[in-house]
Amino acid sequence: MLKNIKFSFLKEMGITGRLNKNGEIVFRKIGMTAERIKTDPAYRRTRENGAEFGRAAQIGKLIRRAFYPALTNISNPKMSGDLVKMIMALMRTDPISPRGERTILNAKLDLLSGYEFNERKQSWATSFPITYKLNKAGNQLMVKMKSVSQQSAWRNAPDSATHVRICPVLAVLNPQSLEQQSFYIPGIQPVSTEAEDIPQQQLAAAITIPGPLIIITAICIEFFMCHNNHFSPHGGKFNSLTIVNAFHT
């Protein structure tokens, strides 16, 4: 079976290299070069797709950086690719920009609601209602998570988990300048999974980066095991970070 070999300097000249079954290098001239892809009208759609993919990869990196404090205990080796795929789907909803120039600034951000960063795609966030209020100046945002009963919140939680920590998280993004701000409540203590209620939480955010902005609210849920008053993370595959709302300013 032949196996491709990457010769970057040869590809620029339109030449590819392969190994045959005897291990000998076989070169083959091809018609496509990097310069041709950049200039040939026949590859216009390729250039458009490449431009949008590169833009989606940048936005995906921006979102991961904004949510980094909440992603440290989330398990998903495919997180980067999954997020880029979602952003590409978002960009296709842009009704204004032409192909190759579409952006999430004009996209229907409601598609992000319910997006789960965990590989298992299982979330408990729907059990915890979040409300938000942005002031008229667009620089102060108040996020509230109402107190709720835990009776049905952990139907599929790990059996060995004794405590859970629930925290609202806020990301503010500027997709043009690639600036971001993150807001979360530090030092929240885990509560017992047998507790009757999850207490109300409130997060105030002072937005300092210039617009146009996209604001994303999410809920981070982490499970712990408690031994002698010491909390140990249960494992990333059960934790979740779920987007609740996303909107333009």
Report the C-alpha gap between 58 and 46 in whole angstroms. 18
**How many Cα atoms sit within 13 Å of 226 on the Cβ side?**
13
Q: What pLDDT sits at residue 12?
A: 47
Residue 4 has pLDDT above 70, yes or no: no
Q: Distance (Å, rounded) from C-alpha 167 to C-alpha 48?
A: 39
| pLDDT at residue 244 tops 80 | yes
Question: Dihedral through CA 95, CA 177, CA 245, CA 242, nearest 10?
Answer: 120
- Who's near 96: CB < 8 A, 6+ residues apart? 106
Three-class DSSP category at 74: coil
Q: What CA–CA distances, in Å, run from 198 to 27, 54, 170, 192, 194? A: 65, 41, 19, 9, 10
Say which amino acid occupies 28.
R
Helices (DSSP H) in the chain: which residue ranges?
A: 8-11, 34-39, 44-66, 68-71, 79-91
Higher pLDDT, 124 or 71: 71
Neighbours of 35 (CB within 10 A): 11
Q: Is the pLDDT of residue 170 over 50?
A: yes
Out of 1-15, 27-41, 116-130, 219-233, give the one with best mean pLDDT: 219-233
Which residue is it, tokens 């996303």? 246
| Average pLDDT in the chain | 78
Q: How far is CA 44 from CA 37, 38, 39, 124, in A?
A: 8, 8, 8, 44
- Residues ≥6 apart with Cβ < 8 Å to 48: 99, 100
pLDDT band at 5 (very low <50, low <70, confident <90, very high): very low
The DSSP bridge partners found for residue 182 are 171
pLDDT at 75: 77
Band of the pLDDT at 93, cuts 50, 70, 90?
very high
pTM of the prediction?
0.77
Q: Is the dihedral of CA 245, 221, 127, 199 positive or negative?
A: negative
Distance separating alpha carbons of residues 206 and 128, to the nearest angstrom: 23
DSSP letter, residue 188: P
Spatial contact of 212 and 174, defined as CB atoms under 8 Å apart? yes
Report for 17-21, 31-35, 225-229: range of highest mean pLDDT: 225-229
Q: What is the pLDDT of residues 201-241, one digit of tens each?
A: 777 888 888 878 998 988 888 888 887 777 777 776 778 88
Beta strands 163-174 and 191-192 are antiparallel
- The pLDDT, as a whole number, for residue 88 is 93
